[in-house]
Amino acid sequence: MMEVEPMDLLRSNLSRVRIPEPTNRIFKHECCLSFDTPKSEGGLYIDMFTFLAFGKDCVGWNFEKTGNPVYLHVKKTKKLVPEDRPTKKPTRLAIGVEGGFDNNEPEYEETHSIVILPNYISLPFPSVELPEKVRLAADAIVLAEGAERKEQVAAWTADKKTVSTYAMNLQQLDNGVVIPPSGWKCAKCDKTDNLWLNLTDGMILCGRRNWDGSGGNNHAVEHYNETGYPLAVKLGTITADLEAADVYSYPEDNSVLDPHLAQHLAFFGIDFSSLQKTEMTTAERELDHNTNFDWNRIQESGEEKEPIFGPGYTGLVNLGNSCYLAATMQVVFTTRSFCSRYYINQSLKKAFETAPADPTVDLNMQLTKLAHGLLSGKYSMPVYENDDNSSIDATTKTPKQEGIPPRMFKSVIAASHPEFSSMRQQDALEFFLHFLDQVERSNAGKAELDPAKCFKFGIEDRILCSSGKVAYNKRRDYILSLNIPLHEATNKEEMELFRKLKAEKLSEGKDVSAEEIVRPRVPLEACLRNFSAPEEIHDFYSTALKAKTTALKTAGFTSFPDYLVLHMRKFVMEEGWVPKKLDVYIDVPDIIDINHMRSKGHHPGEELLPDAEPIDEDSNQPSANEDIVAQLVSMGFNQLHCQKAAINTSNAGVEEAMNWLLSHMDDPDIDSPISKGNSSDNVDQSKVDILISFGFEDHVARKALKASGEDIEKATEWIFSNPDASVSSMDASASNTTSASNDVGLSDGGGKYRLIGIVSHMGTSTHCGHYVAHILKEGRWVIFNDAKVAVSVNPPKDMGYLYFFERIDG
């Protein structure tokens, strides 16, 4: 058989070559399926039709899948630098720029060639002999910035806000609204997160609904469309650093700066003047000492830490405030479930074969890539001084690893969450929950493959009414969030002595040193005990008494997960909107046993609270309170609507009735006469059956459909927004099935756990500072501090923000 000339072979495949358009995403810095780069041994192959990049081990798979044979091969080789190269004296206070400090970055020589698969026939580039189309395409790829870096720059640039033109002369209505520091809820629905304060009228409303159904219910933007009030600030982002607050301008359709934000917030009772001080107070200096101590202790500064390399010991490069992601993912991929799903049982090739045309946007592909990058050991190799001066700690001359940059994974996981798309620091807990939600969604319909379920467990609330009757309510969660009972500190005597010492030093005009500061020590057992302790519920409407009363609520597990994650509530909001981080140690043992926290379910002989009775002329169901109706009517609302609002909120009060009214104005039956029969039976049974198939109980499905005008999507949202909806109307059959229908699909076992991971936080807020992970691997604790991985000398077990426990079998 006659061998085809390379140039003829290339010409015969010109249809598989494209000249990139300005809008095309060109990947040229990193393989889409692995962490190979042009600096890797085999270089990088860029598909000249799709502009996706592949390492030498993956490019053959792309040819098999797409048939695309023409690639631009990019290889970077380190230039040899003379050992006696003189060090230039810096003339600018900067690193890695002209005239700045020399950061010893090695110089690389970049070479290119055109490669034709499957036989890897190579043609030199640049070359005038190449077809013009190939030359133009290759030139455009070489000159392009690269999608990887372009997206990162865009994320940084997106954080550079401009001053809103509406901030200077913003109208503010003197309507007497005063915003409390906590306990916020959307004025038009039950959303308690993603809330925005309109700076004109003080209305608190939920944000936009994301493409996947998460987020808010669009009430804030709808309010703007109705009123034209232009600016809103996101609650929870307001700190002493007002520039960091998230202010959105609806007419400008962008995040903006409001130079008068302090004044605009003060209008609604949010006063920051006390924080704008030129000198640090004693308390602030003490906080400064504590913060410095946190950084040193958690990062184990000053300790001689032995670097570790190999499978499971790969660091993650910080992409710019991405340590929250790095610390969380290092612990996640310590679990058997995630290791099996994305590493042991799924090869890179298998994930690529099932991925869409663009594997960079596929969560399954990018999780598999991250898993293989972290766990294979391929990218966790010691780099020594004679290999790469930039990877050597100049003081110790010890080897380091470069780590892998999780850019593509971050881009995919953040696609449905604007905050994680930014380059700002984020809350590791929020990221962990968002990540698990996305993993669960991506495995929808394949429950047996979903690794997120290893963290999921059931909780049952038992409500004891003053009538002696009870109700049960079940829910599922991924984390157990624990309050810290400071009054149960075990070192009260030392704290008292410290208080006296501090008072003495203060009277002498001196500060306490970092070594003298004493923090309260609270046992983890006390936090768990506090979770299980009875909690009073005031204004609980009892269907037995047909009146409001005080009830007692206790909570217990209905299932124990394979991995239990405990979240320590260290961040609180004080009066005056001052965010505070609790300076406290949590004494966490290596082994915990929570078997005693399992719910016992419905006790024999217990009488359950009856279902809410239907509204009927002859029944004892309360009719609309005339005072509530009169006050609502005086505000301009329809009489019938006001009566319905009062009845549907059990005459709880004007505010509750108004909230109900505002969120039900568009109900199709809002103008229908008040039903005298059991209206919950009038909903479409087929829609009830659909919600039951989703795993919801019959009475909850009926209530949700009634509240949402029988809209399936709205009903589902209503159920998730009202987790306590079934508290007062749980029937006996549902209450008796403690681990039955509600716990289907949940793993369960004994309640004995071993501590395997800690995510610690340094800084005064979850949205600033730094996160570090400590993980128990192969019998020893290891610190993962971004790209640095080393044996931990003194793991900060008492300073964690998130604690990860693994169930001990047997």
At position 608, the amino acid (one-letter code) is L
Q: Is 527 annotated as a binding residue?
A: no
**DSSP state letters, 413-477:** HTTT-HHHHSSS---HHHHHHHHHHHHHHHTTT-GGG-GGGGS-EEEEEEEE-TTS-EEEEEEEE
Q: Is 454 a catalytic residue?
A: no
Give the count of beta carbons closer than 10 Å to the beta carbon of residue 31.
Answer: 25
Euclidean distance between CA atoms 643 and 189, whole angstroms: 19
Q: Is 206 annotated as a binding residue?
A: yes
The catalytically annotated residue of 112, 289, 761, 770 is 770
Longest dimension (CA), the chain: 100
Residue whose pair of structure tokens reads 């030139």 in the numeric block: 139
Encoding tokens for residue 303?
């300790």
Give the count of beta carbons closer than 10 Å to the beta carbon of residue 543.
Answer: 20
Our CA angle for 9, 13, 14, nearest 5°, is: 120
Half-sphere CA count of 684, side-chain side, radius 13 A: 11
Euclidean distance between CA atoms 637 and 181, whole angstroms: 30
Give the count of beta carbons closer than 10 Å to the beta carbon of residue 513.
Answer: 9
End-to-end CA distance of the chain: 67
Give the count of beta carbons closer than 10 Å to the beta carbon of residue 396.
Answer: 11
The catalytically annotated residue of 31, 323, 454, 527 is 323
Cβ-Cβ contacts under 8 Å for 200 (sequence gap 6 or more): 170, 171, 172, 173, 227, 229, 230, 231
Phi, psi dihedral angles at 159 (to 5 degrees):
-80, -5
Euclidean distance between CA atoms 569 and 556, whole angstroms: 19
What are the residues facing 754 on neighbouring strands? 591, 806
Encoding tokens for residue 461?
């609330």
Q: Is 219 annotated as a binding residue?
A: yes
Encoding tokens for residue 626?
């005339």
Distance of CA 51 to the CA centre of its chain: 31
**DSSP state letters, 723-748:** TTTTGGG--HHHHH-TTSGGGTT---
Euclidean distance between CA atoms 75 and 461, whole angstroms: 61
Q: Is 770 a catalytic residue?
A: yes
How far, in Å, are 36, 73, 126, 129, 508 from residue 112 at the CA level? 16, 5, 7, 15, 71
Sheet of 162-163, strands arranged across = 162-163, 254-257, 247-249, 231-234, 195-198, 204-206
Burial class (CB in 10 A: 0-12, 13-18, 19+), 575: exposed
Annotated binding site for Zn(2+): 186, 189, 206, 219
Active site residues: 323, 770
